[in-house]
Structure 1
Amino acid sequence: MTISTDIKTDFHFRKPTKDDGAAVWELIKDTGVLDLNSSYSYLMWCEIFSETSIVADREEGTVGFISGFIHPDHPKTLFIWQVAVNESERGKGLGTKMLFQLLQREACEHVAYIEATVSPSNTPSQQLFKGLAKKLDTNCEIDDYFSADDFPQEGHEDELLFKIGPFQKK
């Protein structure tokens, strides 16, 4: 399937900068479901991985963020670390729109796969990645990846690996 470059939206998509780190940290915190990392990590993420990450803005500020990177061992794979959408924007397809915007970037020119880990209870993320595979008319393989025992803190769920692809871009 070919990825369309015609993305109509009233969101403003852009590469993050270190100046977005605090707003991204707040957005992640406010989701209440994503692992909240240190504010320093989001400053670094927005600075170092800006080519493969994305911020979605509206007049009221940052309403969406995806952190991603090209997998060092698999240069055709974009690994998505976190997808955060402000509660006021959920159900509007923002996560999918951000993913399509990322795939159009020069940094993702050779990407033919997307991978992400998702906990079993995170139904919205599971639907996002399954829906993306359907829109790309490609496979979505789901495998065990990290078990709850792999994590040092109690209460962390297993993480399933979603692998979407291969797909082609125009």
Structure 2
Amino acid sequence: MADNDQIWSLTRSMPLLEEHSPRSIRLQATHFAGTSAVAERGGEVLGWATGYVLPEQTDTLFLWQVCVSDDAQGDHLGSRLVVDVLSRPACDRVTTLQCTIRHDDEPSWDLFTSIARRLKAQMRQIEPFDRRQQSSGLTEYSVSIGPFDRRIILELAGSA
């Protein structure tokens, strides 16, 4: 896995993302290596996606964070990272993608709307998390995409 300090710096540079500690990044990259992806160019981290398969719902991948540097915006890198994770053996039973998105995070809404369209799957907004339970104090919505056909993931991964 790429330099965790670079991943941490990248996530800190994204104003809409919740900040995590370097230790948290290292743990995610280690514990969830099978469901995390990093994009690098010339030794520089351009993007990062991390998630995990839900223990009680092994058909569901929860995406914890997707982040793409300003230098890679417009390259569909976020979508490619998500497809890369979904195409891995750790996700061979996954047919549903879940995440949380802040109400004001237009880039994430655009990313996940695009992913739902590419997967030919329904995107549903589930109940918002209680803002009192969130460190940011901002409303964050749980989003579900699926079910989707695994063959679409493999096709997209082949063309990614």
Instruction: Specify which of 17, 23, 28 is matched with residue 40 of structure 1.
Output: 23
Instruction: Specify which of 76, 92, 106 is matched with residue 89 of structure 2.
Output: 106
Give the secondary-structure state (helix, strand or coil) at the position aligned to 1:37: coil
Indicate the residue corresponding to 1:13 in structure 2: none
Indicate the residue corresponding to 1:10 in structure 2: none
Give the secondary-structure state (helix, strand or coil) at the position aligned to 1:135: helix
How far residue 89 of structure 1 moved from its aligned partner, in angstroms, is 0.8
Gaps of 5+ in 2: 152-160
1:21-60 to 2 correspondence within 5 Å? 21-60=4-43
Is structure 2 residue 69 aligned with structure 1 residue 86? yes
How far residue 91 of structure 1 moved from its aligned partner, in angstroms, is 1.8
1:100-147 Cα shifts (integer Å, max 9, x gaps): 111111111000000000000001101111111111111000122312
Give the secondary-structure state (helix, strand or coil) at the position aligned to 2:124: strand
Instruction: Specify which of 95, 106, 109 is matched with residue 126 of structure 1.
Output: 109
Q: Report the aligned-residue RMSD.
A: 1.3
Residues 70 and 77 of structure 1 are in contact (CA less than 8 Å); yes or no, is this contact kept in structure 2? yes
CA distance in 2, matches of 1:167, 1:72: 19
- Aligned length in residues: 151
Indicate the residue corresponding to 2:137 in structure 1: 156
Residues 23 and 62 of structure 1 are in contact (CA less than 8 Å); yes or no, is this contact kept in structure 2? yes
Indicate the residue corresponding to 2:48 in structure 1: 65
Runs of 4+ more than 6 Å apart: none
- More displaced, 91-100 or 115-124? 91-100
Residues 20 and 43 of structure 1 are in contact (CA less than 8 Å); yes or no, is this contact kept in structure 2? no
TM-score by length of structure 1 reads 0.84
Residues 147 and 157 of structure 1 are in contact (CA less than 8 Å); yes or no, is this contact kept in structure 2? no
How far residue 24 of structure 1 moved from its aligned partner, in angstroms, is 0.9
How far residue 60 of structure 1 moved from its aligned partner, in angstroms, is 4.9
Counterpart of 1:163, as a letter, is S
Larger RCO of the pair (alpha carbons < 8 Å, separation 6+): 1
